[in-house]
Amino acid sequence: MKRLLSVLCITALLLGSITGCGKEEVTLEQPYDIYETTGSLGLGTTVSAGAQEYFSKDLCVADDVSLGTDTTDSQVAEGAGTFNLATNEIVYAKNIYERLYPASTTKILTAYIALKYCTDLSQTVTISENAANQASDSSVCGLHAGDVIRMDDLLYGMMLRSGNDAAIAIAESISGSVEEFAALMNKEAAALGATQSHFVNPNGLPDENHYTSVYDLYLIFRAALQNETFVQIISTTSYDVTYQAGDGTIEEHTWENTNQYLSGHAKSPDGFTVIGGKTGTTGAAGYCLVLYSMNEQSQPIISIVLKADGKSNLYLLMTEMLSGFAN
């Protein structure tokens, strides 16, 4: 018996060394633990051993970081990915796990959190000096301190007009401050499995500690799409808003969607119905787009381009990715 126990112990030690299950740290090229249980990530109830459901069960997963790039103009962007939600396949990939600046695609997570935590979208928000104080070259809705506006209007302004002022106002309304909201963003991102991300603001303005990846954006966007209100917002081409200004007068504006597929400035890929998405642009992040569409088989597709070198090249690559790999 002692001899048998010794053999078993040695075998266990050897297996631990081989599999990385011991104390020795093992570095993996794939930074996502696709074998985590849904319970441990806060995505569902804890499951027992023997009945374990894997975090990746309903997700697109792949070890490859380069798929299809040799037949597209992939050099125009730093990262890109196309995900078929019907088949759970990654059909196109370029640097999908690389940390990159998200610019205003950050607002997808901001909207996800607002829709999760705000129980009454008709509630009004009073715009603070902090929210209104945006740089002159910043993308804004034109809100001023003291303006009183509904939460749902802020969401449309943030997602269509890409208003950085609206994003700050939402964050302050949900958490009390930008800093507290950023902590909530990181908590929610981690719960979705977005382990290559870190956020410090709700709008995506450049910061060396504010980053994500193509794959993380897929995880976040996929979760947001489960909310019908979110889909309704991102699919809206223009939105008429009326709210009370700080001086008591009534402000009226029309916010147009910055997605050029929806605005008609870019031709949608043949055979695809573009539903909506989120654009983003800064000097550090380049031109970015997260897109939700349906192919001819009515299969839902998420496609993402980060850090494209120009707006026309952004839509060129997005169209190539969809037409060539998602039909």
**DSSP, residue by residue, 207-222:** -TT-BB-HHHHHHHHH
The 10s digit of each residue's pLDDT in 138-172 is: 999 999 999 999 999 999 999 999 999 999 999 99
Which pLDDT value is given to residue 140? 97
Which pLDDT value is given to residue 56? 53
Q: Which of 48-62, 285-299, 312-326 shows the lowest per-residue confidence on average (mean pLDDT)?
A: 48-62
Are the C-beta atoms of 107 and 131 separated by less than 8 Å?
Answer: no
Tell whether the model's pLDDT for residue 52 goes beyond 60. no
Dihedral in degrees, nearest 10, Cα atoms 51, 54, 55, 59? -130
Q: Whole-angstrom Cα distance, residue 151 to residue 173?
A: 9
pLDDT band, residue 63 (cuts 50/70/90) = low
- For residue 237, give the amino acid letter: T
Q: Which residues are catalytic?
A: 104, 107, 162
The tally of CA atoms less than 13 A away on the side-chain side of residue 67 is 20
Tell whether the model's pLDDT for residue 11 goes beyond 70. no
pLDDT band, residue 197 (cuts 50/70/90) = very high
Say which CATH topology domain 74-326 has. Answer: Beta-lactamase (3.40.710)
DSSP E strands in the chain: the ranges are 66-67, 77-84, 89-94, 124-126, 148-150, 238-244, 250-256, 273-282, 286-294, 300-308
The 10s digit of each residue's pLDDT in 69-81 is: 999 999 999 999 9
Helix (H) or strand (E) holding 325: helix 311-325
Cross-strand pairs, 274: 293
Are the C-beta atoms of 220 and 106 separated by less than 8 Å?
Answer: no
Which pLDDT value is given to residue 62? 66
pLDDT band, residue 20 (cuts 50/70/90) = very low
- Tell me if 57 is assigned to a ligand binding site: no
What is the SS3 assignment for 79? strand
Which pLDDT value is given to residue 7? 39
Q: Whole-angstrom Cα distance, residue 156 to residue 256?
A: 10
pLDDT band, residue 65 (cuts 50/70/90) = low
Cross-strand pairs, 130: none
Which pLDDT value is given to residue 59? 82
Mean pLDDT of the chain: 86
Tell whether the model's pLDDT for residue 104 goes beyond 90. yes
